[in-house]
Amino acid sequence: MVLCGEGPSWCAGVDVGEHRPEMVAEMMGAFNGIFETMEKMEVPLIAAVHGPCLGGGMELAIACDIIVASSKATFGQPEIRLGFFPPYAAIRLPQLVGTARTIEICATGKIYSADEAKALGLISQVAGEEAFGEAVESVAGSLLLSSPLIIRLNKRAVKGHIGMAFPQALAKVTDLFLNRLMKTEDTLEGINSFCEKRKPDWKNR
């Protein structure tokens, strides 16, 4: 799934007016519902960021699995300058860039260029404005070469064990590999297609 934005910004964030005490709980509930839905998505989520991606907008982008950015894109969590902190970013950013970088991003409110964001490890790829659409299609197209079922299992293997102790995580991912992956038709098809020197014919089962 590719998430795109309309207009000059990809998403400039939540309306500051909705942070008023009488409205903020409802706003947070709605926003958290988006993240909960995104977290349940089994398919890879690609954020195709073409312009400013700030505040709650950046939180939406980092909730995706892959970010492809135009060279014109910018990223930042400027809420601190209005007396807020970004709740979801406080959870997600340490997984992407570590604790120190997270505190820097959230506590300074700095706006980062696409190249700076890539250097931080926030985004996967930066493309020039004219090549941006092609870059997004290339990333999505590379996913379409593989079995949809195995792509979903791969995402489960990566995200399902974050924060677990190593022995428990290793046991869980080994169980997923042996008792789920190796019993799919598509894994057997992948092995057979390699041995027979042909393209695989995925069945998604």
Q: Which residues are catalytic?
A: 59, 79
Backbone φ/ψ region at 121: left (φ over 0), alpha (ψ -120 to 50), beta: left
Count of CB atoms within 10 A of residue 173's CB? 17
Could you tell me the CA-to-CA distances from 199 to 147, 171, 203 in Å, in that order? 12, 32, 13
Residue 170: Cβ within 10 Å count: 12
In DSSP terms, 11 is beta-bridged to: 53
